[in-house]
Homo-oligomer: A and B are copies of this chain.
Amino acid sequence: MQLSQRRIKAAIFGGSGYGGSELLRILLFHPHVDVVLVTANEHADKRVADVHRNLLGLTDLSFVKQPETIDGVLDDVDCVFFALPHGQAMSLVPNIPPQIKVIDLSGDFRLRDQSLFESHYKQPHTAMETQAGFVYGLTETNREAVRHARLIANPGCFATATLLGLAPLVANGLLAGRVIVDAKTGSSGSGAKAAANTHHPQRMTSFYAYKPFTHQHVPEIEQELAHVGDWTNELIFMTHSLPVARGIFASIYVELKRELDQSNLHQLFAEYYHDSFFVRLVNGSPDINWVKTTNFCDLGFAVRGKQAVVFSAIDNLVKGAAGQAVQNMNLMFGLDEKTGLILAGTNP
């Protein structure tokens, strides 16, 4: 594609949730993208700005009902984003015409092992052949593959925060013993629909653990760690709920094969991420406050002898979902991965 000639025409399937909301916030202002189609069954025919009221005055788009069949609907489209609930993309993607690129934000195509998918997502997988063509879209570890991919499985939010904190250590073969990830997420991770666990009167003063040992992001973390290096460690992964809207913070406890000090660690990460604009290494601890609404992943460290802790902070909806999706799209279309993604956070 020659950018001087034409712009990327993008479609979003599932535009009314928080993933769709953030895709719209980014793509509507992307210098090389036109959003030509946004679906949303429940809100079909409503104006986008009546649902995402932050976009009032910024777009005239309306939601359309999700088409029964793909035929003819995507004739002019270059790239489709799927931001649907788990289990829906797998029946649609196989019918997408081959000249169209696909980025799926759900868990449908992340796992190469069908049985792992089915045990974690509690449903049969009906498109494993299509899955074989997918690239796991953690941009920082798979940049070259992403550039040449037609199909991207965008990582889960917890997986993104965890993998970015562990990849340099695994790639350098530094880990001994079990790895413990104590991960915490804001309430937007539960989606845009009201539910008991996001009921404001209770959630605003809550902190609790959920899905111990069994979160569905565990298998994609292990799969990708094995891709990045020689991963044979035991992973203990624990998810908790934070009383904020946005943000994931992972405290990652590892045992190193040899003693490293903080500057060694910093150096190691700096080298691994030397061409990764969206990974920032901070002194001390990162804070979800400084990454909220941005595509950054902030990483910090603490070390005592062979015991090290990596702290990883992202915005679950941006680097953990829509932002990373656009970062991947940029690469797939030959653009600088930062294009349209310099979303400065705010203080406060």
Contact = CB atoms under 8 A, between A and B. Distances in A.
Interface of A: 18, 21-22, 25, 28-29, 52-58, 178, 180, 182, 184, 186-188, 192-196, 198-210, 212-213, 234, 236, 238, 240, 242-247, 249, 251, 253, 255, 277, 280, 282, 284-290, 292-294, 296, 298, 300, 302, 304, 307, 309, 311, 313, 342, 344-348
Closest 10 CB pairs of A and B: A212-B302, A54-B345, A201-B348, A208-B287, A209-B285, A182-B182, A201-B245, A200-B203, A206-B289, A188-B201
Nearest to A20: B347
Contacts of A345: 54-55
A212 B348 contact: no
Contact of A288 (B55, B208, B236, B342): B208
Contacts of A22: 346
Contacts of A203: 200
A29 B342 contact: yes
Task: Give the most central of A55, A205, A302: most B CB within 10 Å.
Answer: A205
A33 to B, nearest CB: 14
B56 A205 contact: no
A203 B289 CA distance: 8
B205 A251 contact: no
Contacts of A292: 205
Nearest to A26: B344
B285 A212 contact: yes
B249 A208 contact: yes
B236 A204 contact: no
A205 B247 contact: yes
A187 B307 CA distance: 28
Contacts of A195: 194
Nearest to A203: B200
A176 to B, nearest CB: 12
Given A53-B282, A187-B200, A287-B208, A245 B25 contact: no
B213 A304 contact: yes
Given A194-B196, A200-B200, A207-B242, 10 more contacts: A54-B346, A182-B182, A184-B207, A192-B201, A194-B198, A205-B247, A209-B285, A209-B302, A236-B304, A240-B249
B238 A302 contact: yes
